[in-house]
Structure 1
Amino acid sequence: MRPSQHVAEAILALPADRVRRVAIDGVDGAGKTHFADALGVELNVRGAKVIRVSADGFLNPPRTRHRRGRDSPEGFYRDSYDYGRMVRLLLDPLSPGGNREYIREVYDVRREREVRRLPELAADDAILVLDGIFVHRDELVRYWDYSVWLEVPFEVSVPRAAKRGVGIKEEDPYALKNLRYVEGQRLYMAECRPRTRASVVIDNADLANPVLLD
């Protein structure tokens, strides 16, 4: 059984009397989008109503992201995302007691500009699948009914992220230009221990052959 199948079955075993909220976490280049898309397919095949969202749709503009300096690891960790709007516009509406009217994004990072989206209404048994870095932070961890940590060493994740052409540019994980990203992730892992907070850990160093660890 592929890890995405295992995760899909675990999610579908959760009570379906409300929106089930799922997070896919990992460092930049861990393969979060790839895994979340595969999970969405597995859930769709089983008849689920999937809401696919990226945390990058709630990035802050550059003036906020870089207010501690363009090379600041702490700035990368603490200032990249607008968690207030993510919670207010996406997570609270999809939580028990919410009205299920959510907005999936407020920012386009490729164009570096705000976007306006009309609210959408989630089915009462929908499944939110959100991928993004830092999603086991204290502000967010209570929202997840199920979460995944993708375990990938920086020696693999950084070159993979560099080839994507957004954010990380250098393939060398020890390059000075990557200090912001690598050390920012280390700060997150030390402070929040996402591996221990996740429902399941998957070795995703080989995108074609992910391995369920625990």
Structure 2
Amino acid sequence: MTKWAPQKVDVLDALAAEVLHNYARGRVAVAIDSDDPVLSASFADDLAAALARAGHGAFVAHLSDFQRARAERQDAAVPEGERAYRLRYDYELLRRVLLDPFKLGGSTGFVLAAFDAVRDEPRQPRWRTAGRDAVLLVDGEFALRPELRGAWSLGIRLDTQEPPVDLAYRASTDPRRLAPVLIDIRDPEHPRRVFADSC
């Protein structure tokens, strides 16, 4: 017997409706955490499209656009297995130019991309503003790490149910437990909302 699988658009539209219902006013920052940055980027773009269908635009930022310089990421003093978690992203920069100014609201400008990983150099800042009620989706690996937890209105974990990719991340964080929204993304065209309640 073939199991029923939800259509991607239905799952995304339901999630967009939930975000807009629960966070109808003010600035909303949503983390989309995944072991695969390409997968989370695609999901963030699709969720932004679902929010637009619901009549509410969204800004999308990728953690991959807030990396450190290659020389910093490859510091030999840090064990190789911990480098991605400890050194890949510049979280201070992320907070300073995106998260903190976005949450301030008003006419405060924010930057959606600060580093060009291909050229291994900072990007020229492109400052943006948003209205009083705005949604920011930030996707990437390690989005639910301890340093960023307080920054999010909502955390979404994209789960492939594969063994953990980064053990250093899992040593400090259990994203499946922390994220209020858990999406089984083993079949990207038929994602499923999973309710991993312990009660």
Identity of aligned residues (%): 29
Match of 2:72 in 1: 64
Structure 2 counterpart SS, 1:47:
coil
Match for residue 89 of structure 1 among 92, 97, 101: 97
* Matches of 2:157 and 2:175, distance apart in 1: 7
Deviations 1:97-156 (A, max 9, x none): 67541011111112222111231111211110111110111111111111210111448x
Which 4+ residue blocks in structure 1 deviate beyond 6 angstroms?
none
Residue number among 175, 197, 214 corresponding to 2:178 in the alignment: 197
* Structure 2 residue 131 is the aligned partner of structure 1 residue 123: yes
CA RMSD of aligned residues (A): 2.2
TM-score by length of 1: 0.80
Work out which of the residue numbers 156, 163, 173 in structure 2 matches 1:148: 156
Whether 1:54 aligns to 2:62 is yes
Q: AA paired with 1:205? A: R
User: Does the 8 A contact of 1:30 with 1:204 survive in 2?
Assistant: no
Of residues 23, 30, 53, the one that matches 2:31 is 23
Check whether the contact 1:89–1:103 (CA below 8 A) recurs between aligned residues. yes
Tell me the residue number matched to 1:187: 168
1:71-106 C-alpha deviation (Å, 9 max, x unpaired): 712111100010001001100011256754101111
Q: Deviations over 1:25-81 (max 9, x none)?
A: 010267211211110110001111210111111000111111137971211110001
- For residues 151 and 125 of structure 1, what CA distance do their matches in structure 2 show? 29
Q: Which residue identity is paired with 2:61?
A: V
Any unmatched runs of 5+ in structure 1?
156-180
Q: Which runs of 5+ in 2 are unaligned?
A: 1-5
Name the aligned partner's letter for residue 152 of structure 2: W
Alpha-carbon distance in 1 for matches of 2:125, 2:77: 30
Residues 29 and 127 of structure 1: is their aligned pair in 2 closer, same or farther, counting only changes over 3 Å?
A: closer
Secondary structure of 1:21's counterpart equals: strand
Secondary structure of 1:52's aligned partner: strand
Aligned amino acid, residue 58 of structure 2: V
Query: Secondary structure of the residue that 1:64 maps to in structure 2?
Result: helix
8 A contact 1:14–1:20 mirrored in 2: no
Match of 1:206 in 2: 187
Counterpart of 2:3 in structure 1 is: none
The alignment of Structure 1 onto Structure 2 pairs a total of residues equal to 187
Corresponding residue for residue 19 of structure 2 = 11
Q: Secondary structure at the match of 1:92?
A: helix
Q: How far apart are 1:15 and its partner, in Å?
A: 3.4
Q: Please say which of residues 25-34 and 93-102 is displaced more in the overlay.
A: 93-102
Q: TM-score, normalised by structure 2?
A: 0.85
**For 1:53, what is the secondary structure of its paired residue?**
strand
Distance 1:125 1:102, change over 3 A: same
Match of 2:116 among 108, 114, 117: 108
Asked if the contact 1:30/1:152 (under 8 Å) is kept, the reply is no
